[in-house]
Amino acid sequence: MDSTRLPALAKRLSQYFLRGLITILPLLLTVYLLFALVTWSESLASYLIRPLLGSLYIPGLGLLVAIGIIILTGYLISRQDTSRLFNWVELPFTNTPVVRSIYNSLKSFADYFSPQSPGEATQQVVLLRWPEQPLEVVGLITRSHVEGLPLGFTQGDRVAVYLPMGYMIGGYTVFVPRAWLTPIDMSVEEAMRSALIAWMPPRKQP
């Protein structure tokens, strides 16, 4: 083989490797998380349920039990008379200094994507445009008013908008006049997924 072609071949192989890794990695992570869930639920079911059912135990019953526990938890949290019990479970996480910051941040972020009850503010993806500026930034409304904020915030018809950053978990929250926003017909999940990859278009297969 001509030695002058070796660098080009190595570059092409590295491109193929990177493209294959980007394609396979999300699949492997998804399969791993599903496998971990099934393994954990089966081990828990084998410890708690198998002694009761004996030979009647069916493989896969643990996953059904885990799904049932998740549904039951969601039902109990949706009820006012039982949701307060969950506050006792949260106490170790909400009162430990370092753990409290991490837990509250993750919980608030997860609550934003949770299904909303009737009468709650609608989750909305918006375009943020500064007056007389051609720049457009995609954001998510996280607070529809400024009532209850500490003194010092500008009052009026203003909202909080979260601006996600590409290729990482993070972003900025800005308080702007509602008139600067234009709603987008896009779900929160679609907007976050697009923001994560910096709104790159789908790669066309060669």
Q: What is the pLDDT of residues 141-170, one digit of tens each?
A: 988 888 888 889 999 999 999 898 877 667
99: in domain:
no
Mean pLDDT of 21-29: 80
173: in domain:
yes
The pLDDT, as a whole number, for residue 86 is: 72
Q: How far apart are CA 24 and CA 13, in angstroms?
A: 16
Structurally, the chain folds into a number of domains equal to 1
Write the pLDDT tens digit of every residue in 69-108: 788 877 777 777 776 777 777 777 777 877 777 776 666 6
The pLDDT, as a whole number, for residue 105 is: 66
The pLDDT, as a whole number, for residue 62 is: 75
The pLDDT, as a whole number, for residue 120 is: 45
92: in domain:
no
130: in domain:
yes
150: in domain:
yes
191 vs 2 pLDDT, higher one: 191
57: in domain:
no
Write the pLDDT tens digit of every residue in 5-16: 777 777 778 878
**Over pLDDT 90: what percentage of the chain?**
16
Domain of 139?
125-196
pLDDT band per the 50, 70, 90 thresholds, residue 176:
very high
193 vs 129 pLDDT, higher one: 129
155: in domain:
yes
Q: Full-prediction pTM beyond 0.85?
A: no
CA torsion sign, 159 to 165 to 166 to 168?
negative
The alpha-carbon radius of gyration of the chain (Å, integer) is 24
Q: How far apart are CA 89 and CA 83, in angstroms?
A: 10
**Over pLDDT 70: what percentage of the chain?**
83
Q: How far apart are CA 59 and CA 46, in angstroms?
A: 9
52: in domain:
no
Judged by DSSP in three states, 158 sits in: strand
104 contacts 167 by C-beta, under 8 angstroms: no
